Amino acid sequence: MKKNKLYSILIIASIVGFAYLFYKIKFSESAHVTFCVIKNVTGYACPSCGTTRAVQLFLQGDIVASFLMNPFGIIVALLMVIAPIWILFDTITKKETFYFWYIKTEKIIRNKWIAMPLILLVILNWIWNLYKGL
């Protein structure tokens, strides 16, 4: 993926993510509406179900509850906060440090000895979500 496309996607995703969190916190705290296609079709949670609530908990400082809700939430929250700042830094300084980090990380994850344990963690997270009844 080219740098400009990656940066655009991440900035838009972060803005949409923060807008959705703002909406969830201000207007639909009591209503439990899910946009998860898998859960809406099958009635069962997907591996990422609970991520929004986990991000909310993380941003409120409740890291343990966030982790127990869905560990992916911590990763998403960190990316939502760090990526835009890092991209802004790259834009101002005319550097590509975030892009190089992304390329390096993607290369590492493509290694089967790294990818297989990560896939196993996703499956275990999915089982955990099903067990919790998300």
C-beta of residue 116 within 8 angstroms of C-beta of residue 24: no
C-beta of residue 56 within 8 angstroms of C-beta of residue 24: yes
The whole-number pLDDT of residue 56 equals 87
* C-alpha pair distances (Å), 12 with each of 86, 88, 126: 14, 13, 27
The whole-number pLDDT of residue 28 equals 66
The whole-number pLDDT of residue 5 equals 92
Which tokens sit at 102? 């992304």
Rg over CA atoms, the chain: 16
Torsion over CA of 75, 81, 83 and 85, rounded to 10 degrees?
Answer: -160
Sequential pLDDT tens for the chain (134 residues): 788 899 999 999 999 888 888 887 777 655 566 777 888 888 888 888 888 889 888 988 999 999 999 999 999 999 989 999 999 999 999 999 999 999 999 999 999 999 999 999 999 989 988 898 87
Which tokens sit at 54? 């986990």
The whole-number pLDDT of residue 32 equals 64
As a whole number of angstroms, the distance between CA 132 and CA 134 comes to 6
The whole-number pLDDT of residue 51 equals 87
* C-alpha pair distances (Å), 67 with each of 28, 55, 71, 105: 22, 9, 4, 23
